[in-house]
Amino acid sequence: MNNLNILVVEDGQSQREMLRDFLIKEGHNVAEAASGEDAVQLVANRAFDLVLLDYKMPGMDGMQVLQEVKRLNPETDVVIITAYGTIETAVDAMKAGAVDYITKPLEFDELLLLVDRVSERRTLIRENEILRRQLKDQGVTTDSIIYASRKMSALTSMAARVASSRATVLLQGESGTGKELLARLIHQLSPRSGKPIITVNCGALPESLIESELFGHEKGAFTGATARRIGRFEEADGGTLFLDEIGELTMPVQVKLLRFLQEREFQRVGGNANIRADVRIISATNRDLEGMVKEGKFREDLYYRLNVVVMSIPPLRERKEDIPVLIDHFLERFAAENGKNVVGISSEARDLLMKYDYPGNVRELENIIERAVVIARNEVLSLEDLPFREDVMVASPGGMPEEGEGKLRSAMENLEKQMIQDAMEKTGDHQTRAAEMLGLSERMLRYKLKKYGLKS
């Protein structure tokens, strides 16, 4: 992680000096203030990446300092430190612009994780802003794709490079990773953006209708064909045709698609006239097309026509840096759509969402946040708002009594320990790869290994 310029604001001298020494040891540049007034003066004269701010202080309290810091420099991240870890405190802080909060007594591994998260977030924001400025210079926007990871930055950058060509593009990735969004971005970045992009889900159409859907049909071509029908290829003329689940196409339709890619012309079902269309093909699949070719289920010549440019979208579990920004995006969106005053998510709930593997990828995370926002009873999402699943340890929707909180913490720690053990075994005790698999920094993983007495 990059070293941060951090301001520690704490009226207790021993606590302030302890925080200062710990953060300096971790390689950060640290200034300190014993009061809110001193903190505001420092922020007015120096640029800080992060302010660690005690909530309850004499004179200017933490909330007043937070508001003044955000007024002086909206880009500064502020984390509230409080012994009064109530929902009300978290809501007020997040409404005023805090990125997170942490409760006393402080746990250094939790603090380190939080600081690392802020550091990574700021680095990725800077990199994404550079890319977005480059794309904006071309007159386009990537606002439809929400990401913070380098992997997705590389994909959007590649989309910008291939968009101006006529080359066919094959998008590979698991269901729910966002293949259609990437296809739309390529179209938006291309000279064809003024024309339509037509989407066809090949797996959702009956085998008997897919050929007519794509190429159209003449009147009387088959029973029920009472009039001529224009197909998707003609509708997409001058634009882009996105063929989702391309692996579901039957062999006869594969032959006609291959002919179009070779000759740029086709015939309607039941017709003899050759029809030309200027269409760019983007296809997508979550299946192994190369394996299907070997099995004789997909034409080899068509496969090589489709994968001139191949773009593989990684599953969400392999780009966990995207989870926090996706959570914030979906939370804001569904709060607005449902008229709910939900302004944030607790650290515990966010950390739990970071640990989940999301077999349904971004679409599953979207559904989880939508459900949580709809059933939320407070202004900050908590563990009890998350859906109960056997593979995600959360409180039941009805909440749990205070005496059950210790059991929940113990269960979560046992789950975390087991996940770390599994990751270390799968990677042959390779800490870098294990940390990436778990969505942790290497330093955080080392803390966890030591905490649970595991091999380090």
Domain containing 43 — which CATH number? 3.40.50.2300
- Which residues, 6+ apart, have CB-to-CB distance to 279 below 8 Å? 233, 236, 237, 238, 239, 240, 241, 260
As a whole number, mean pLDDT of residues 223-238 equals 88
Residue 137 lies in a domain: no
State the residue range of the domain holding 328: 318-451
Strands in 280-285's sheet, in edge-to-edge order, are 197-201, 240-244, 280-285, 169-172, 309-312
> For the chain, how many structural domains are there in total?
3
Residue 244 lies in a domain: yes
Residue 127 lies in a domain: no
Which DSSP symbol is given to 318?
G
Cα-flanking dihedrals φ and ψ of residue 33, to 5°? -140, 135
Strand 29-33 to 5-9 pairing: parallel
Averaged pLDDT score across all residues of the chain: 84
- Determine how many CB atoms are found less than 10 A away from the CB of residue 21: 11
Cβ atoms 159, 343 nearer than 8 A: no
Shared domain for 274 and 400, answered yes or no, is no
Shared domain for 278 and 167, answered yes or no, is yes
**Residue 357 to residue 359: CA distance in whole angstroms:** 6
User: By percentage, how much of the chain surpasses pLDDT 90?
Assistant: 43
Shared domain for 82 and 211, answered yes or no, is no
What does 211-252 look like in DSSP terms, one character per residue? HHHHH-B-TTSSTT--S-B--HHHHTTTSEEEEETGGG--HH
Shared domain for 286 and 329, answered yes or no, is no
Query: What are the start-end ranges of the H helices in 60-141?
Result: 62-72, 87-96, 108-137
Shared domain for 218 and 164, answered yes or no, is yes
Which candidate, 169, 191, 195, 164, places its Cα nearest to that of 180? 169
Q: Kindly report whether the global pTM for this prediction surpasses the value 0.75.
A: no
Sequence letter at residue 415: L
As a whole number, mean pLDDT of residues 134-162 equals 74
Residue 121 lies in a domain: no
Shared domain for 99 and 150, answered yes or no, is no
As a whole number, mean pLDDT of residues 269-283 equals 92
As a whole number, mean pLDDT of residues 172-194 equals 91
As a whole number, mean pLDDT of residues 422-444 equals 78
Shared domain for 282 and 326, answered yes or no, is no
Q: How confident is the model at residue 409 (pLDDT cuts 50, 70, 90)?
A: low
**Residue 97 to residue 187: CA distance in whole angstroms:** 36
Q: Does residue 267 surpass a pLDDT of 60?
A: yes
- Domain CATH code at residue 423: 1.10.8.60
Shared domain for 300 and 347, answered yes or no, is no
As a whole number, mean pLDDT of residues 140-160 equals 78
- Position 400 scores a pLDDT of 40
**Residue 398 to residue 353: CA distance in whole angstroms:** 19
Residue 204 Cα to chain centre, angstroms? 26
Shared domain for 234 and 292, answered yes or no, is yes
Which candidate, 299, 204, 311, places its Cα nearest to that of 261? 299
Residue 228 Cα to chain centre, angstroms? 44
- Position 405 scores a pLDDT of 44
Final residue before a domain boundary, out of 279, 314, 349: 314
Q: Does residue 387 surpass a pLDDT of 90?
A: no
**Residue 189 to residue 237: CA distance in whole angstroms:** 17
Q: Tell me which of 422 and 276 has the higher pLDDT.
A: 276
Shared domain for 308 and 322, answered yes or no, is no
User: By percentage, how much of the chain surpasses pLDDT 70?
Assistant: 87
As a whole number, mean pLDDT of residues 417-446 equals 79
Residue 340 lies in a domain: yes
Q: Does residue 123 surpass a pLDDT of 70?
A: yes
As a whole number, mean pLDDT of residues 285-296 equals 93
Burial grade of 139 (CB within 10 A; 0-12, 13-18, 19 or more): exposed
Residue 421 lies in a domain: yes
- Determine how many CB atoms are found less than 10 A away from the CB of residue 45: 8
Shared domain for 99 and 161, answered yes or no, is no
Determine which helix (DSSP H) or strand (DSSP E) holds 273, and give its type and residue range. Answer: none
- Position 84 scores a pLDDT of 61
Shared domain for 380 and 351, answered yes or no, is yes
Final residue before a domain boundary, out of 299, 314, 329: 314
Final residue before a domain boundary, out of 314, 343, 368: 314
Residue 207 lies in a domain: yes
Residue 312 β-bridge partners: 172
